[in-house]
Structure formats: C-alpha cells, structure tokens
Amino acid sequence: MASEQYSASDIVTHHLGHWRVGEGMWAVHMDTIFFSVLCGVLMVFLLWLGARRATAGVPSKMQNFVELLVEFADNSVKATFHGPRDFMAPLALTIFLWVLFWNFLDLVPIDWIPLLAKTLFGLEYLKIVPSADINATFGLSISVLMLIIYYGIKGKGVLGFGKELLTHPFGANPLLVPFNLILNVVEMIAKPISLAMRLFGNLFAAELIFILISLLPFWILWAPDIVWALFHLLVVPLQAFLFMTLTIIYISLAYEDQH
C-alpha cells in the first residue's frame, strides 16, 4: 500500500503507467495484450467447456449456461440484423464476453497483481485492465469499423456501397457529392471513436477512482471502495452490452438498405 516515501501523484502516475516494451511508435503494451489474451482464452475455454459434449438430451449445467449465452447473442443479433447470423452471432458474443471479462479485471484490487508482478518478475509498471487502455478499445472498435465496411459492401455491393457514400443523405446532385462524402466519412469515423472512447472513458475513470480511493487511510479505505465497487458492478456488464449492441446496430445499418 501507499508507502510513506511516495507522494500521492507518484502513486497515481505509477498506477497509470503501462508495461511498455520497445520505444516510441513501436512500443508494445505487454500488459494490455497479455491480460486481454488471457481473458479471451479463458472466455473461449469456458464456452468450449459447455460446447464440448453438447447433447440434444438433458444438458449439463455448463452446457445450459453456455446455451443461454449463445441464445442471448443470437437473439440480440436477430432483433436488428436480418442477414445470415453464422458470423454475426459469434461476433456479438465474443465482443460481449471479452469486454465483460476485461471490465471485471477492474474489480481486482488495484495493487494485488502489480505487486505480484513486481515481486516475481521485477516489473515496474503494470496495468491489468485492457479496457482502461485506449489501444485495446480502439483495437476492438477499428476491427468493428472494418466489419462495418465489409458488411456494407457485402450487403449493397461495391457499387451500391460507393453510391451511398456519394449520394446519401442529400441526393445525387453532383454539387452535393462532396458534402455527402464528407458527411459519410465523418459518420464512419465517429462510430469507432465513440465506441472506443465510451468504453475507455468509463473504465479509465473507474480505475482512476479506485486509485484515488486507495490513497485514503487504510482504516476508512474499505467503505468507499465497496460502494464504488458495487456501483462499478453495474457499469461492467452495461458497457459490455452497449459495445455489443452498438456494433450490431452499426453493422446492420451498413448491411441493409435504409431507403
């Protein structure tokens, strides 16, 4: 915990620092990659546990639970997206669970894992919540942008997609084409930015508040910590659900003709 020789700002900046490998542009956030991949592997393993001995008869508890998740994702996609769901539904579930796992890491007391890493491996900086790293959320949302473009082309054809880019929403008048294009490009860029910033903002703020709470004297620390953790318990699934739902909506908007 807060040792006497460190100032409060030292502790805060220390907790916000990443385990970086490499310099400048080519630096890699090893902590973000490690913990997000760990979450992903855990997620796929849990799902696989339920799917491994899938039976049409009476399902095991694990299978039942995973079926619940699968149906949840499938229904969420079905509600807005009216194309084939064999990729969309796994996509939705992957986003939801992956982001959920990321966010849950925020509830691990902030000193435990960094302290463990420092003692065992001598790592000075470690930030375990991937969704509090803007690179993780943007990595996800830019992938979603690629899928939006892919599904736009898949749903409308290359020509239809290009045409909509140039003529929507003001009309096909040649004078209006530049405005249409600018508007569409801005809209397209705004989507991943809003997705990424919303998730990052929520989790970063939550992380920061946990850090600030940890600066309090130890005999009172637990009270605000519990209150904030309980509140954060609402934010964790909400942000995961939002990311999934917005992704589905963006992709279906691109895929389907809105006129």
Catalytic residues, by residue number, are: 194, 198, 202
- Residue among 143, 104, 144 at smallest CA distance from 232: 104
Q: Which is nearer to other proteins, 142 or 235 (CB)?
A: 142
State the number of CA atoms in the 13 A half-sphere of 198 facing the CB: 20
Q: Which is nearer to other proteins, 193 or 227 (CB)?
A: 193
Q: In 42-169, which ranges are E strands? A: none
**Backbone angles phi and psi of 257, in degrees to 5:** -70, 125
Place of tokens 């620390």: 221
Q: How far is the CB of 234 from other proteins (least distance, A)?
A: 25
Identify whether the C-beta of residue 217 lies closer than 8 Å to the C-beta of residue 180: no
Identify whether the C-beta of residue 204 lies closer than 8 Å to the C-beta of residue 127: no
- Interface with other proteins (CB under 8 A): 18, 20, 22, 25-29, 32-33, 36-37, 40, 43-44, 47-48, 50-52, 54-57, 59, 63, 66-67, 70-71, 86-87, 89-91, 93-94, 98, 130, 133-136, 138-140, 142-143, 146
Q: How far is the CB of 145 from other proteins (least distance, A)?
A: 10
Q: Which is nearer to other proteins, 134 or 181 (CB)?
A: 134
Bridge partner list, 174:
none
Q: How far is the CB of 33 from other proteins (least distance, A)?
A: 5
Alpha carbons 227 and 231: distance in angstroms, whole number: 6
Q: How far is the CB of 62 from other proteins (least distance, A)?
A: 11
Bridge partner list, 28:
21
Q: How far is the CB of 67 from other proteins (least distance, A)?
A: 6
Q: Which is nearer to other proteins, 29 or 191 (CB)?
A: 29
Identify whether the C-beta of residue 247 lies closer than 8 Å to the C-beta of residue 95: yes
Bridge partner list, 21:
28
Alpha carbons 147 and 141: distance in angstroms, whole number: 10
Q: Which is nearer to other proteins, 40 or 224 (CB)?
A: 40
Residues 6+ apart with CB under 8 A from 248: 76, 77, 80, 81, 88, 92
